[in-house]
Structure 1
Amino acid sequence: MYCTPFRGRRTAAATIVAATALLGGATAPASAHWEATPVSAHTQTETLQPEPTSPTAYEFGETLAGLEGEELEITFLAEIIGHHQGAIEMAQLELERGTSPDIRTHAENIIADQQHQIEQFTRWLDQWYGLTPDEAKAQAPEEARQEMATMEEEMQMMHEELLAVEAGEGFDVAFVQKMIPHHSSGIIEFLEPQARAPHAELRVASTAGITTQQAQVADFRTWLAGQDGNV
């Protein structure tokens, strides 16, 4: 699915509407309290579901909607680099402990795709603004810095919970349950630069990021639905 870039400045409300459409109509209210779902044994009657998307991701999307030009690009790049690194670390755990060939292939693709974007985005930060990712984060608006800190804590929680899961089919399920909301957060973050980033390169890369992660989320949801009663 190709995402046509939006034109003009997007309002915060429009960001939520766009995110809702891209994520299949499922969003978390900004006021909701996010908590990771404990990993537990599943019975044959349970329906496996992904964990919820962090409300802070929607708040950060709204914050980006209020930024323009250089500030928009710097703030987005400061966040997405760390966000991608978190996905890579979870994918590496899947390769160490997972057993599903399909999910392991997705993990390999996540590592390759997101490492490429990390290198690309880090290079652009330096070329365009003379900043490292840490320097870019320090220049972000205070509200954005607070939201980034919250999302970093949530990613660390996800990683720690995966570390506690034993290798095997159950690990595949736990990985997918966490990667779906992680990718959903990334899609939300890509919306504003896809629409309004001053550099065309970043608009194109954001569109690619949305398309890739949407496809993986769809595959993960289909796979997870097929695991009911098997774990």
Structure 2
Amino acid sequence: MHHTPNRGRRITAAASSLALAATLLGGATAPTFAHTEVTPASSHSPAEMLQPEPTSPTAYEFGETLATLEGEELETTFLAEIIGHHQAAIEMSQLELERGTSPDIRTHAENIIANQQHQIEQFTRWLEEWYGLSPEEAMAQAPAEAQEEMKVLEEETQMMIEELAAVEAGEDFDVAFVQKMIPHHQSGIIEFLEPQSRAPHAQLRVAATAGITTQQAQVADFRTWLAGQDDTE
């Protein structure tokens, strides 16, 4: 049972952390867009079509939920979510290797697969060693609010993968991959914020910091590349 004053402080801290994340990521992750209507891609001008897709508002909600959790509950809930999140990034990156043409983007995809597979194995092992749980068991014992948010995130991610899988091979696939990987990485950064600062295990705090650093660098590179595609229109 959490005391209301502590919960309020955690939510305030989460809001500050998310605002910082938005600033670091170029402002595109500001949670105020939660009620913004998304215009179908077909009605966009060419320049607008090369903007990244928006970050899921549910990712911010999940970040706020993590801010209300402590200790074991914080770690197990975070790990239950991030393992599946990383697996989705690997699936998207494998599609890029199959269909993409840009050497730079393909190299990023290879790095995503290597880095995130390593963290999946690390996080799965820690769940077992620290708490005797599989990722599925950790998800099943997460707070109800977190479970609902994780379900929505999983559905949104699956739709993202299906949309990407429908894109034909070639330069257009590179663009679609980057447009989707930017918000996917941004969601991951949001999820890493609380364990980075408050996870009981130092190993997890270090891994969260590494995850944020790596994904921020990739987002910056992806944004630069996407802007370069605009210039060639």
TM-score (norm 1): 0.90
| CA–CA separation in structure 2 for the residues paired with 1:153 and 1:225 | 29
Partner of residue 226 from structure 1, selected from 210, 225, 228:
228
Runs of 4+ in 1 over 4 A off after TM superposition: 33-38, 40-47
Q: What is the count of residue pairs matched by the alignment?
A: 223
| CA–CA separation in structure 2 for the residues paired with 1:63 and 1:153 | 18
* Structure 2: 5+ residue stretches without partners: 1-8
Instruction: Report the equivalent of 1:159.
Output: 161
Indicate yes or no: 2:72 matched with 1:74. Answer: no
Q: C-alpha displacement at 1:37, in angstroms?
A: 5.8
Secondary structure of the equivalent of 2:53?
A: coil
Deviations 1:165-209 (Å, cap 9, x if unpaired)?
A: 000000000000000000000000000000000000000000000
Structure 1 residue identity aligned to 2:199: A
Q: C-alpha displacement at 1:48, in angstroms?
A: 1.7
Instruction: Report the equivalent of 1:179.
Output: 181
Q: Share of identical aligned residues, percent?
A: 76
Residues 24-173 of structure 1: matches in 2 within 5 Å?
24-26=26-28, 27-29=30-32, 31-32=34-35, 38=41, 46=48, 48-173=50-175
| CA–CA separation in structure 2 for the residues paired with 1:110 and 1:98 | 15
* Structure 1: 5+ residue stretches without partners: 1-7
Secondary structure of the equivalent of 2:32?
A: coil
Whether the aligned pair in 1 keeps the contact of 2:63 and 2:191 (CA below 8 Å) is yes
| CA–CA separation in structure 2 for the residues paired with 1:159 and 1:51 | 13
- Structure 1's 61 and 37: CA in aligned 2 closer, same or farther, altered over 3 A? farther
Structure 1 residue identity aligned to 2:171: E
Q: Which moved more, 1:46-55 or 1:11-20?
A: 11-20
Q: C-alpha displacement at 1:35, in angstroms?
A: 5.8
| CA–CA separation in structure 2 for the residues paired with 1:181 and 1:197 | 24
Q: C-alpha displacement at 1:120, in angstroms?
A: 0.1
| CA–CA separation in structure 2 for the residues paired with 1:61 and 1:160 | 25
Structure 1 residue identity aligned to 2:104: D
TM-score (norm 2): 0.89
- Structure 1's 35 and 77: CA in aligned 2 closer, same or farther, altered over 3 A? farther
| CA–CA separation in structure 2 for the residues paired with 1:148 and 1:72 | 14
- Give the number of the structure with larger relative contact order, counting CA–CA contacts within 8 Å between residues 6 or more apart: 1
Higher helix share: 2
Q: C-alpha displacement at 1:115, in angstroms?
A: 0.1
Q: C-alpha displacement at 1:20, in angstroms?
A: 1.9
Secondary structure of the equivalent of 1:198?
A: coil
Instruction: Report the equivalent of 2:3.
Output: none
